[in-house]
Amino acid sequence: MKLQLNIQPLNTWLNINNEPLIISGPCSAETEEQLLTTAHLLAATGKVSVLRAGIWKPRTRPGEFEGIGSIGLEWLKRAKAETGLPTAVEVANAKHVEEALAAGVDILWIGARSTVNPFTVQEIADALKGVDIPVLVKNPVNPDLQLWIGALERINGAGITKLGAIHRGFSSFEKSSFRNEPMWELAIQLKTLCPELPIINDPSHICGNRELIPYISQKALDLDMQGLMIESHVDPSVAWTDAKQQVTPAALAELAERLTVREPES
């Protein structure tokens, strides 16, 4: 069985500043200063093609920081104006989509906790009908390839052809050195079913700690994934979310310098 998706190649809709494609920025936008400082430092590395920041954060338990909300869209707008970096945010419902589109966000992504719910994905797809914007779909939290495929089909069915998948690993009951098991075979199966679908690896949410990120990043590139989404923060030690896995812009630049991209086979 082949997966029939109508997809435009990544390099036709994304300006990649430097190989490999790196999308980076904080797990959460916290303050305007934190976002702008991080964005400027990332832009100065010359290694980053897209600025990411979560402003609506789906937290596992209540009582935690749930994102700065719509005001973060203004900060992203300013970060883009000052650095020239296109911006990406997570959307989890139709209202998020409408607000992000109105604010001129360049790329939307669907988080792992949303991909698991076909009603949520369909609501997002319906809000995207008639809109031309890139959308990246993270794998669901559980290792269910069909759910991931179903979400991609729903978004593509809404007419989104600038489409990609993000491999962020899968939740497991087993004790592991990873926060989310990579289960590479699921991403490989997706690639086999639909070779034209860009797959971007998210080593930050796979690893859950900074130390393992270089290893997972290189492995993803060795498996021909088309880019990396890596969380970064001007001062990770004080980050409001995912503090252990965020890297400084300087560390990101060093990591990017060390990665090797395989030459395409001729």
Task: Point out which residues bind ligand PEP (CB under 6 A).
Answer: 27, 54, 111-113, 138, 168, 205
Instruction: Determine phi and psi for 73, rounding to 5 degrees.
Output: -65, -35
CB 73, min distance to ligand PEP, A: 16
CA–CA separation, 177 and 191 (whole Å) = 26
Q: How far is the CB of 215 from Mn ion (least distance, A)?
A: 19
**Shortest CB 1 distance to ligand PEP, Å:** 27
Q: Which run of H or of E encompasses 81?
A: helix 71-83
- Please give the full DSSP string across 89-112, using - where no structure is assigned: EE--SHHHHHHHHHTT-SEEEE-H
- The token duo for 200 is 């971007």
How far apart are CB 239 and ligand PEP at their closest, in Å? 11
| Closer residue to Mn ion, CB minimum distance, 5 or 141 | 141
Q: Which residue is nearest to Mn ion (CB)?
A: 27
Q: 64 or 185: whose CB is closer to ligand PEP?
A: 64
Whose Cβ is closer to ligand PEP: residue 242's or residue 263's? 242
State the virtual CA torsion across 192, 113, 134, 16 in degrees, nearest 10: -70
In the complex, what is the shortest distance from the CB of residue 28 to Mn ion, in angstroms, rounded to a whole number? 7
The partner in contact with residue 168, picked from Mn ion, ligand PEP, none with C-beta cut-offs of 5 to 8 angstroms by kind, is: ligand PEP
Residue 27 found at the interface with Mn ion (CB under 5 A): yes
Neighbours of 171 (CB within 10 A): 12
Q: Give residues 226-255 in contact with Mn ion (rule: CB under 5 A).
A: 242
What is the nearest approach in angstroms of ligand PEP to the Cβ of residue 54? 5
Asked if 106 is part of the footprint of Mn ion (rule: CB under 5 A), the reply reads: no
> Residue number with the shortest CB distance to ligand PEP?
111
When the beta carbons of 85 and 260 are compared against ligand PEP, the nearer one is 85
- Report what 112 binds from Mn ion, ligand PEP, none; CB cut-off 5-8 Å by kind: ligand PEP
By CB atoms closer than 10 A (0-12, 13-18, 19+), residue 1 is: exposed
Task: Report how far residue 1's alpha carbon sits from residue 101's, in angstroms, rounded to the nearest whole number.
Answer: 35
Tell how far CA 126 is from the center of its chain. 21
Is the separation of the CB atoms in 82 and 40 below 8 Å? Answer: yes
- Residue 138 binding partner per list Mn ion, ligand PEP, none, with a CB distance cut-off of 5 to 8 Å that depends on partner kind: ligand PEP
| DSSP structure class, residue 238 | G
**Residues at the contact surface with Mn ion, assessed by CB under 5 A:** 27, 242
